[in-house]
A and B are shown apart, each in its own frame.
Chain A
Amino acid sequence: MRSVLCYGDSNTYGQTTANKPDDRYPHDVRWPGVLRGLIGSEWLVIEEGLSGRTTVSNDEIEGPEKNGRTYLRPCIMSHKPLDLIIIMLGTNDLKVRFNKTPCEIAMGIGALVTDIKAMPAGVDGKIPEILIVAPPPTASDLKEWSDVFLGAQEKSRALAREYERIAEAHEVHFFNAGLVVNSSDEDGFHLDVQAHRDLGHAIAEEIAAIGWPDQSD
């Protein structure tokens, strides 16, 4: 049995597109659950999604627990040994309060990769495989969140390319979720049920494509 950690924000947590706090899709609807349904016989799929999680920033409004960097280490240590860590973050870094360019958001992802590589969290003390997933761009209308995400529409469209640069520089796996899903028009930045299903299927394919030797080896 292999294990994969899905480290993300509200779109990994499964926050619905309704503008209600803690309104979460059932476990088999959100994408890590879809993934579990597809590869669960061979993989332990660990869900670590937190609404509002950033890559590396302390959020003065939402609180320090949203910092994706400080929680990453204890999180990985609680779940290790891990074969694969999937990171899908960056949407919350688009908030205007953080004043980050797409390149800097990607550098935050790079910092997380560096932290993972500094920990022997893989099987037999190795470093786990790392898959960076670029979140899909936001919708054009961000409704009530327009001020919070001022300028995010344009910046979010540059994330995938910046993430790919970071993935290349750090030699890790990369997938652009924007190839298979869109943010919902309902609230502008969350995934709807169909998007969770599509993303789960796409991630399952990406995991398979990485190639995993037989475990008896």
Chain B
Amino acid sequence: MPDMRFAPPPTVRVAEHPGGMNQVLARSFNERLIMSLLLQHDGMTRLQLGQESGLSAQTISVIVRALERDNLVSKGAAVRGRIGPPTTPISLNPNGAYSIGLHVDRHAIEATIVDFVGASVAQTQCNLTTFDVQTVRDALTGTVDTLLGELTGEQKSLVAGIGLAFPQRFDAEEEQEQAVLAYDFEKDLRAHSGLEVVIQDDVTAAASAETLYGQAKRMDDLLFCYASKDLVPRLILGGRIYTGSNPQISICDSQTWHQTARSLESDAAQDDLGVQRWIQQVVAKAADLVQDLGTFATVPEMILSAPVPTDVMDELVTRIRTEIPTGLSVTGSRFGPNALAIGAAIMPIQTRFTANTL
């Protein structure tokens, strides 16, 4: 028996033997920690990574090399600071991984592919004429195929997984809703695509996406609200997302919402009376919510997301600001009208590459 202390070292994950995303399963906690830091700060030097993570310079060096081999990070151009030696900032490579997000609603499936930095690279929509398990299942697999068709062969091998997001309640008849909520779509999608599938409620996924890529980067405590037919809040404290047991706050009934949603798609959405009434309701309910929340917790930040065009979002944000105490800053989500699909897409990235858990 040879002395095992002198055994040849294990093979590194070399670029010549790409295992696609399979090798990503083996990402160590330290690697995830480094990727989480790179998600939060665009361009960090190895020194900064070491200081933030508490890992040694040599460990950082090994991790960065491993991430470089897998094309997950790209070295930025060397910059020369005014004091001290030149440093080489490291950033995530947008093309290092992709992820699919599917948001199922009563009437449609919104779907998107995001790249490794959370930017949407392809989108599609599929209307649901009826709402039953078979229709939803076929629409989901068809949508995944459509989206994968947008990617090159190499990009396909870099898809980290599928994020599937459902609302907590569908605006449907009880029986249909129960059947859809009870069905195991994850299993079907996994079998159909061979990809990892992650499932989560839609607003929680969107809130989580904000903490990873959106406006809430680097924020530990905030109130996230998604406004459509209802105002759905999520409270994030210390980086953890809290969902109440009965979290919906009604803004309008479903028929009114459908009309409003149609008006929101028109060019002059802001001038529409229905839209104005909806805005007013959202502002009022959001202000009430902040007031109620203030009795037991203070958060410095509120992020609002809604399926509305930018000008409507701006108006919502401006009006909420005037209605609430000055200590709370209000921001609109950067993810736009597709925030729920993007939130779904970001889940697999979060579970596979980061040290945060949903």
B11 neighbours in A (Cβ, 8 Å):
165
The smallest beta-carbon distance between B125 and chain A, in angstroms, is 45
Contact of A205 among B14, B51, B88 (CB under 8 A): B88
* Residue A46 CB within 8 A of the other chain: no
* Cβ contacts under 8 Å, B60 to chain A: 211
With A168-B65, A172-B61: A209-B8 Cβ-Cβ less than 8 Å = no
Find chain B residues with CB under 8 A from A207 CB.
Answer: 85
**Residues in chain B near residue A161, CB distance under 8 A:** 14
Does B247 reach chain A (CB closer than 8 Å)?
no
CB-CB < 8 A to B57: which residues of A? 129, 173, 210-211
| B45 at the A interface (CB under 8 A) | yes
Q: Bound state CA distance, A208 and B57, in angstroms?
A: 12
Closest to B11 in A: A165
- Is B134 an interface residue when CB atoms closer than 8 A count as contact? no
CB within 8 Å of B: which of A152-182? 161, 164-174
Neighbouring A residues of B9 by C-beta, 8 Å:
106-107, 110, 165-166, 168-170
Pick the most buried of A106, A130, A168: most chain B CB atoms within 10 A of its CB. A168
Q: A39-B85, A205-B88, A208-B88 are in contact. Are A169 and B61 (CB under 8 A)?
A: no
A103 at the interface (CB under 8 A from B): yes
Contact B86 A205 (CB under 8 A): yes
Distance (whole angstroms) from the CB of A198 to the closest CB of chain B: 15
Q: B220 CB to closest chain A CB, in angstroms?
A: 26
Partner of B88, one of A164, A173, A209, A212: A209
**CB 8 Å contact bits of B46-87 with A (1 = contact, 0 = none):** 111111000011111110011000000000001000001111
Contact B88 A169 (CB under 8 A): no
Give the chain B neighbours of A210 by CB distance below 8 A: 46-47, 57, 61
Do the beta carbons of A130 and B87 come within 8 Å of each other? no
Q: Is the CB of B10 within 8 A of A172?
A: no
Residues on A with beta carbons closer than 8 Å to the beta carbon of B296: none
Residues in A with CB closer than 8 Å to B61 are: 171-174, 210
Q: Among B6, B60, B62, B84, which residue has the most Cβ atoms of chain A within 10 A?
A: B62
- Please, which residue of chain B has its CB at the minimum distance from the CB of A208? B85
Whether B78 and A212, one on each chain, are in contact in the complex, defined by CB atoms closer than 8 angstroms, is no
- The answer to whether B25 has its CB under 8 Å from any CB of chain A is no
Is B26 engaged at the interface, CB distance under 8 Å to the other chain?
no
In the bound complex, CA of A107 to CA of B3 (Å): 13
| A103, A172, A207, A210 interface centre (most CB from chain B within 10 Å) | A210
Smallest CB separation, B68 vs chain A (Å): 11
Name B residues whose Cβ lies closer than 8 Å to a Cβ of A.
6, 8-12, 14, 45-51, 56-62, 65-66, 78, 84-88
Q: Which 7 A-B pairs have the closest CB atoms?
A: A211-B47, A169-B9, A208-B85, A211-B46, A209-B88, A173-B61, A165-B9
Q: List 12 A-B contacts (CB under 8 A).
A: A39-B85, A167-B62, A167-B65, A169-B9, A169-B10, A171-B58, A171-B59, A173-B58, A204-B85, A208-B86, A211-B46, A214-B84
